Chains A and B, each alone.
Chain A
Amino acid sequence: MATVYCSLATVHFEMSRQLTQRLVFTLITLAAIATVTPIVFVVGYIAYLGWPAISWSFLGEMPRDGMRAGGIWPAIVGTLYLTLGTGLIAVPLGVAAAIYLSEYAKDNRLTRSIRIAIINLAGIPSVVYGLFGLGLFVLFLKFGTSLVAGCLTLSIMTLPVIISTAEEALRAVPQSFRVVSRSLGGTKWQTIWRVVLPQALPGILTGVILGLERAAGETAPILFTAAAFFLPRLPGSIFDATMALPYHLFVISTQVPGMPIQIQYGTALVLLVFVLSMNVVATIIRSRARARRQW
């Protein structure tokens, strides 16, 4: 009799354990779905409402009628310039810093301070970067509100992303590659330049693109350093202010009364395509590199 009770209790206990698990797993699955569904919705909704606005003249013309008509060409070009300029500054600097951390730095207090500095750079709010850019580049160095001030500000903001992903990619190259190269008489730098860097390139590239993607989509850092409210021409030099897609979207959706809704969604779509295509390229590079990795 006692055994029966006992096993009944076990069965009951077992069932409640299984029941709990099923219940919790369902909840977790639902939560995960609830987390990603809005992402699909955001992209789909903007694509759906923005698509009718897209035309060659929308993409390639200057804005007219106080931006209520015409195209967004200067904003597209401005964002391209800002992204490329940021890359020109941040990529060499970031990759060099990553090489230092992965190949040269010893595990000491200085290296730890560098890592803490990088973590902090990554956490500083984008609008604080804007303030910093205003204080240093625009006012102190007297660059004015300009492409170059914006690129420099965005570069420093992008740096931590590039450094940490590039360092990870460099560290993933097996030690044996370095040992072999050195034993064949290669110097330390030759080993890095001819062996380690090429192997780490896809990983570095992924990080670079993800960093620049962030720079391309940011508004707050260029708000007081580079962005022009309305400038119906392309910047002529690096000391000119520029229009940019994210800031333009902000302006036309909050500052301009009577703005046709279609132009707003069209601009949002162009910005989204710009940024997400970088994301897709990065993902492709990464998965390809993973597929044909030799080690």
Chain B
Amino acid sequence: MQQPAPARKLPELLIESLIRAAGYSAILFVALILFFLLREGAPAFAEVQLSQLFSIRWYPIESLFGLLPLIGGSLIVTLGATLIAVPFGLATAIFIAEIAPRWAREILKPLVEVLGGLPSVVLGFLGMLVLAPIVRVTLNTPTGLTAFTGSLLLAGMALPTLVSVAEDALDAVPKSYRDAALALGATKWQTIWRVTVPAARSGVLTAIMLGVGRAIGETMTVMMVTGNAARLPTALNSLFLPVRTMTATIAAEMGEVANGSVHYHVLFTIGIVLFLISFAVNLTASAVVFRQRKRAERLLS
């Protein structure tokens, strides 16, 4: 059965170099994505004046390419989603990790995972048909397709990431911390709030950031329920008006532009902005994780 050693050596070297190449491929793909976004998006900076990109009118038919209303739209929808998702997500994570009896945990965790698996277009579909009318009637607005409707659904889309990462972080807090707090006479809630959550805070922070990252990049749901009016949100009540996000703009308009036109290039420029935002969010999140790991190593050594 045993093959001679040299015959085994060559194929194995080959396989190992393939595996190495696969390992490096992730870097290659990030570079490729950035390269092709720049290749198609950079000409926009030559074709459209910078001051125009930072103006407040997005009206491509008249060659008005102000990105501010779109960036503002993305921000306000994401802000709303964060305000909803963070309290509910943290409460759910604390409930699953610290409070819930075993059977409840066994039901809740798969359910949250199901939410993560729901296609965004299905949520957008129900949002349009069911949620938007409810929003219109309760808030007494002319239309139910508002930033707020988008925020509600985006909160749902951010929740699975937020809950699972935060729950992992809470789970990772050593049991001895809790035991010590309880032994000192703290109630269970005091232990959670003063000991466990602070000990897990960098993980919880990562969870929030990843959830927010997820929300800002969501496309289909937002496009279907936010009404898509490119108007700069200037006050808080803009939350209850239609808005247009960066992602929705790309998805809605890319199909109708001529390749190589100014409009086409500007849509790629929006892609670059989105790429940079997600890059910044994830880099920060991973820096937090790495720093935390380093600190843990220092403490243990």
Contact = CB atoms under 8 A, between A and B. Distances in A.
Interface of A: 17-18, 20-21, 24-25, 27-29, 31-32, 34-36, 38-40, 42-43, 45-46, 92-94, 96-97, 99-101, 104-105, 112-132, 134-136, 139-140, 156, 159-160, 163, 185, 187-190, 210, 213-214, 216-220, 223-224, 246-247, 249-250, 253-254, 261, 264, 268, 271-272, 275-276, 278-279, 283
A136 B286 CA distance: 28
B297 to A, nearest CB: 11
Interface of B: 2, 8, 12, 15-16, 18-20, 22-27, 29-30, 32-33, 36-37, 39-40, 87-89, 91-92, 94-96, 99-100, 108, 110-115, 117-126, 128-130, 156, 159, 163, 187-190, 193, 210, 213-214, 216-220, 224, 247, 250-251, 254-255, 259, 267-268, 271, 274-275, 278-279, 281-283, 285-286, 290
Given A32-B108, A93-B25, A189-B16, A117 B255 contact: no
Contacts of B37: 128, 131-132, 135
Of B118, B255, B279, most buried by chain A (CB within 10 Å of CB) is B118
B101 to A, nearest CB: 11
B154 to A, nearest CB: 12
A127 B271 CA distance: 8
Nearest to B190: A17
Of B23, B87, B89, B112, most buried by chain A (CB within 10 Å of CB) is B23
20 contacts: A18-B187, A21-B188, A25-B99, A36-B111, A45-B126, A97-B25, A114-B26, A118-B26, A119-B283, A123-B279, A126-B120, A128-B33, A129-B33, A131-B271, A217-B117, A219-B119, A220-B247, A253-B224, A261-B129, A275-B119
B186 to A, nearest CB: 9
A220 B222 CA distance: 12
B29 A159 contact: yes
Contacts of A101: 23
A145 to B, nearest CB: 10
Given A272-B122, A283-B110, A135 B23 contact: no
Given A35-B159, A117-B30, A139 B259 contact: yes
Nearest to A36: B111
Contacts of B2: 185
B122 A268 contact: yes
Contacts of A276: 114, 117
A104 B117 contact: no
Contact of B187 (A17, A97, A118, A187): A17
Q: Chain B: interface secondary structure?
A: helix
A39 B15 CA distance: 44
Contact of A220 (B96, B108, B187, B220): B220
Contact of B117 (A32, A93, A127, A279): A279
A225 to B, nearest CB: 11
Nearest to A18: B187
B126 to A, nearest CB: 6
Contact of A217 (B19, B121, B271, B278): B121
Contacts of B29: 117, 121, 156, 159
B118 A275 contact: yes
Nearest to A254: B224
Contacts of A264: 125
Contacts of A163: 26
Contacts of B87: 31
Contacts of A35: 88-89, 91-92, 112, 159, 163
A38 B187 CA distance: 32
Contact of A124 (B114, B156, B250, B278): B278
B117 A275 contact: yes
Given A45-B130, A189-B12, A249 B274 contact: no
B86 to A, nearest CB: 11
A256 to B, nearest CB: 13
Of A24, A27, A94, A129, most buried by chain B (CB within 10 Å of CB) is A24
Contacts of B18: 96
A223 B189 contact: no
Contacts of A17: 187, 190
B113 A279 contact: yes
Nearest to A138: B259
Contacts of A246: 119, 121-122, 220
B268 A219 contact: no
Contact of A125 (B89, B130, B188, B274): B274
B278 A97 contact: no
A142 to B, nearest CB: 12
The 4 A-B pairs of least Cβ separation, nearest first, read A125-B217, A100-B23, A217-B119, A96-B22
Contacts of A28: 91, 94-95, 99
Contacts of B274: 124-125, 127-128
A213 B119 CA distance: 9
Contacts of B89: 35
Contacts of B111: 36, 39-40
Nearest to A29: B95
B24 A114 contact: yes
